[in-house]
Amino acid sequence: MSPTIDTIDSVLIPTDGSDGALAGAKRGVDLAAMADASVHVLSAVDTSAIEGITSVLESDADEQRAALEADAESAVESVSSMIRDRYPDLEVTTATEQGTPFRVIDRYVDEHDIDVVAMGTKGQTGVKRVVLGSVTENVLRTVGAPILVVPPAASDEPLTEDTVRNVLLPTDGSDGAAVAVDWGLALAAAFDAMTHAVYSVDTRRFSPQRAPGEVLSELERPGEDALESVRERARERGCTLTGTVATGPPARVVLDYADGNDIDLIAMGTHGRSGLERHFLGSVTENVVRNAELPVFCVPMNAT
């Protein structure tokens, strides 16, 4: 069954108390409010740096552990307070758990049947705070739920019908892209947004001896097929869609299209034609997430 906004019953917001984490939290709670979903706020207490220093006195180690736990509690409370101020009717569950951050997040998603994770791409570094930004890509590689990734340069406007007017759905015709398209169309329908589909024709893989027209003709055919598949899905959803076959490296095509067409949200798969394993993050998605200035909704192949 294709996902809808009602498919989202729970949203997990990992936080380390940083501004980057707060940016992810704000957009995550916007999505939860749109879906009338419950919100889970989680902070990981990573004591591995302390445990790995044999010269640290036990009393000092205990003090540092206590400081980490206090920081985690403070981070969770800060996000919870923001949620109560903005959406007082939302159900909120808070938790702090010890462990490597991305493993804590992955385990929590599985144990609590989380539907969507929302997080920033930049966090704090240093002994006193859990690193969030450095684990974002590991979360994308391991977690089996869709992840709304919010870069620090993203607009601070809430995700609403008034602000999300254009949703971009990159596709390569793969099964992974199709799953992401279904999720992207679900979000576009919820926000009543225009949908854009783009297929990249990357000629770098082909011999320069071949005629450019021959290469483009050969690569554009599967692109048009992929776009037609997206159009059919959009029609079923009642979404308005425009599709484009563009030439260039896929990540750059996606980013340039987003910049040139006032895109407010990108929805794309974490697995395309270059890999099928759950722990493999497609290089295109990775590059888009690293360089985008707007939220990216990343969808693994096994997301339902």
Sheet holding 38-45, edge to edge: 92-98, 38-45, 10-14, 116-120, 147-150, 296-299, 265-269, 166-170, 194-201, 241-247
Mean pLDDT of the chain: 86
Whether residues 130 and 251 fall in one domain: no
pLDDT digits (tens, 9 = 90+) for 198-227: 999 876 655 555 545 565 677 778 889 999
pTM of this prediction? 0.88
Name the packing angle between helices 212-237 and 175-191 (round to 10°): 50
Q: What is the mean pLDDT of residues 69-87?
A: 96
pLDDT of residue 215: 59
Residues 11 and 126 in one domain: yes
Q: Which two tokens stand for residue 68?
A: 């980490």
Confidence of residue 229 (pLDDT cuts 50, 70, 90): very high
Domain that holds residue 25: 5-150
Q: Residue 177: which of 98, 284, 86, 73 has the closest Cα?
A: 284
Q: Are residues 132 and 189 in the same domain?
A: no
Residue 232 has pLDDT above 50, yes or no: yes
Percent of the chain whose pLDDT exceeds 90:
63
Residue 41 pLDDT > 70: yes
301/174 Cα distance (integer angstroms): 10
Question: Do 22 and 129 belong to one domain?
Answer: yes
Residues 220, 140 share a domain: no
Q: What share of the chain has pLDDT > 70, as a percent?
A: 82
Q: What is the CATH number of the domain that holds 180?
A: 3.40.50.620
Residue 67 and residue 128 in contact, taking contact as beta carbons nearer than 8 Å: yes
φ and ψ of 198, to 5 deg: -135, 135
Average pLDDT over residues 257-263: 97
Is the residue at 304 inside a domain?
no
